Amino acid sequence: MGKNEKILIVDDEPDFVEACRMTLEARHYQVMTTSSKSLAQEMMKADPDLIVLGTLAPAGQAFSIYQWVVQHPRYRDIPEPSSLVPRIQSLLEEATRLIRVPVADDHTMVRTGICAVLALQKGLEVVGEAVDGRDAVEKALRLLPHVALMDIVMPGVNGLEATKRISSECPETKVLILSQYDEEENMLVTKQAGAYGFIPKKAASSDLVAGIRNVYGGSYFPASFAEIAAN
């Protein structure tokens, strides 16, 4: 199964569906979702390459869809590839795993506000707070988080230097920059420092959670910066 192929997820658990969608889209799959049997049958016209069939209410709906799918001309004769099952299981496990995030910002009110927002999100766990870059590096090395949320301008060791050190000394941790400076030059510099993503603080209310989940699965930069970030 290659990139840009289509996956249809049929499930009525919104948090599970959203986590799966974010994880799979971060890996460049095209994802369609529904909790309706009739909509699932309609979406089949798009010829998805894979169907993930989960739970549906009332009881029996999921099995009913399964019976309909196996009679579909495209899918009824396709054998189950042994290499595909572990891959999808791995992606689903990744989607439902807690993403461990420390927050580094020298402004207490900003840091507290970010932590409060993240604490309300399912699938995310705030594992620490850092007041500067040195503190952020120490916590990354000690806590081994998945995604480190990092401000740029901080006293002492700044966010860029901390990002370089985390990238070098703790490669299992991906840095996501959250900064009030959103010029493309700053985004390029943070990417060169080893960051996997960038979010302007003015867009944090709408993009922060999605940014963390996308960085966990790959990378995340504003659409306007996509071409530069890819080079």
**Per-residue confidence (pLDDT) for residue 129, from 0 to 100:** 96
How far apart are alpha carbons 167 and 192 in whole angstroms? Answer: 11
**Per-domain residue ranges of the chain:** 6-95, 99-229
- Residue range 39-69, pLDDT digits in tens: 988 888 888 888 888 778 777 777 888 788 7
**Per-residue confidence (pLDDT) for residue 192, from 0 to 100:** 93
User: How far is residue 116 from each of residues 53, 77, 131, measured CA to CA in Å?
Assistant: 34, 50, 16
User: How far is residue 188 from each of residues 9, 181, 227, measured CA to CA in Å?
Assistant: 35, 12, 11
> How buried is residue 27: exposed, middle or buried, by Cβ count under 10 Å (0-12/13-18/19+)?
middle
**Per-residue confidence (pLDDT) for residue 73, from 0 to 100:** 73
Q: Are the beta carbons of 177 and 159 closer than 8 angstroms?
A: yes
Q: Are the beta carbons of 163 and 196 closer than 8 angstroms?
A: no
CATH number, domain 99-229, options 3.40.50.2300, 3.40.50.300, 2.30.42.10, 3.40.50.720: 3.40.50.2300
**Per-residue confidence (pLDDT) for residue 226, from 0 to 100:** 61
E strand or H helix that includes residue 159: helix 159-169
**Per-residue confidence (pLDDT) for residue 18, from 0 to 100:** 79
**Per-residue confidence (pLDDT) for residue 81, from 0 to 100:** 47
How far apart are alpha carbons 109 and 113 in whole angstroms? Answer: 6
Q: Taking the model in full, what pTM does it have?
A: 0.61
Residue 107 backbone class (left: φ over 0; alpha: ψ -120 to 50; beta: rest): beta
CATH number, domain 6-95, options 3.40.50.2300, 1.20.272.10, 3.40.50.1820, 3.40.50.11440: 3.40.50.2300
Is-same-fold flag (6-95; 99-229)?
yes
Q: Kindly report the number of other CB atoms within 10 A of residue 183's CB atom.
A: 11
pLDDT, tens digit only, all 231 positions of the chain: 445 688 889 888 887 787 777 777 777 788 999 998 889 888 888 888 888 887 787 777 778 887 887 777 766 655 444 445 566 666 666 666 789 999 999 999 999 999 999 988 888 999 999 999 999 999 999 999 999 999 999 999 999 999 999 999 999 999 999 988 777 778 889 999 999 999 988 888 888 998 999 999 888 887 766 665 555
Residue listed under structure tokens 């099952």: 85
